[in-house]
Structure 1
Amino acid sequence: MLLEMARRGEIDPWNIDVIDVTDKFLKKIEEAKKLDLRVSGRVLLYAAILVRMKADAIVPQPPAEEDFEIIEWDEEEEPEINEVFIDEVLRAQRRRIRRISTLKDLIRELKKAEAIEKRRRKRKEQIEFEYVTSIPHEENLEEEIAEVENLITKILQKKRFVTLFSIADTKEKIIKFYLSLLHLVRRKRLAIEQKEFYGDIEIKFYEQN
C-alpha cells in the first residue's frame, strides 16, 4: 500500500513525513473498509505501528540500543496486535525512527517490526506447546490423582489439615498436586482453603454440610 501511494504521488518517497504518511495510510484503510475490501493483518500491523511512530514524532521518547534482523513474513500468518507489543517494538526502534527520511527507511523499519512480532508469536506458541504437553494424559492423570489422594489421606489421618507447600517442594510438584486437588475437590473427596492471595493452601477432608 505504501509503494502504491508513492507511485500515485500521494507521498514523497524521498522525503517522508511520518505524521503525514500515517494519516494518509489510515485514510486508505478506511476507504478499503467502506468498499468491503479485505484488509490484511500485515496492513493493520503497519497501521498500528505508524500510529505510534506518529505519536513519537510529536512527543519524542528516550531511545533504546537494541537491533533486530529482518525475517521473511508468511502472508498466511496474522499478527496479534496489542498495546504491549507495539510499545515493545517501538522501544527497540525509536532511535532509528528519528532517522527515517525516505520510503525505503520507513519500509525497512516496518519489516523489522514484523520480525519482532513473528519472533514474539513463535515464543508464545512454544510456551503454549510446552504447557499443553506438560499436562498429563487422562490415564496418567487418574494415576496421579490417586497418588495424591493416598498421600494426603495418610497425612489427614494424623492431623486436621495439611498445606500444599508442605507436601510439594518444587514448582513441578505444586502444579501436579494442585491439578489433582482440583479434581478431588470437584469429586467432593477433599476441601481446600486459601486464606491469603498467593498464600499456601490448606487441604482437609470434604465435610458435607
Structure 2
Amino acid sequence: MSPKQQRGEETVARVLDAALELYAQSGEAGLTLGAITQAGGVSAGSIYHHFGSLHGVTTALAMRWLGRLLGELAAALERADDARTGIHAIVRTYLDFVRAHPAAARLLHSARADHEGMAHAKAIRDSQEARLSPIAAWIDARREAGELAALPTPVIESLVLGPVVGAARRWLSVGDIDLDETTPALQEHIWRSVAP
C-alpha cells in the first residue's frame, strides 16, 4: 500500500470514528459537516473526496458496522457443532453485539437505515456478499443435512433474525427488556421455528 493510500484509509477511519462518536452523543442531528470535520480533524474537502457527501459518511458508517456484525455472525456459525447450537449462536452473537456497540446498533436499526435498506437492498446485499455467503451456505448445508426445516434460505433468515431484530430494537429504544433473560428464551423459540 502506498503512503497516499494509507493516509486515505486513515482519514476514512478518523471520519467514521468521529461520526459514530457524534451519533452516540446526539443522534443524526449531531452528524453535521462542521462537527465531523472538527471531531475527526479533517477538512470538508477530505470528507467530500472520500465519501461524496454527508449522506455518504452515514452510509459508509452503517456499512462498516453491518459488515462487522455479519462477520461476527458468520464466525459464530463456523464454531457451531450443529444446527441448534448455530441458531443459538446467532441469537447470542447478535444481542451481544447490540449490547457491546449500542451506538452502532442504534444506527443499524434506525429509521434512516430502514429506509436505505428498502431503497437499496440489492446494492447493500451485493456489498456484503462476502459476509452473507458463509451464512447462507451454512443454512443451506444444515437444511440439506436435515438439521433445519425444509424452507427457503430467506425464510429461515427471516424466522431467525426477525425476532432478534425486534428484541434489539426494543432494548435500544424502550429498554424494558433484559437481554440476559431474553437471549435464552429467544434461542429456544427461534430454534423451534426452524427445527426440522
| TM-score of Structure 1 vs Structure 2, range by shorter chain | under 0.3
Q: Which has the larger radius of gyration?
A: 1
Question: Larger helix proportion, structure 1 or 2?
Answer: 2
Question: Larger strand proportion, structure 1 or 2?
Answer: 1
Structure with larger RCO (C-alpha < 8 A, sep 6+): 2
Query: Normalising to structure 1: TM-score of the pair?
Result: 0.25
Query: Normalising to structure 2: TM-score of the pair?
Result: 0.27
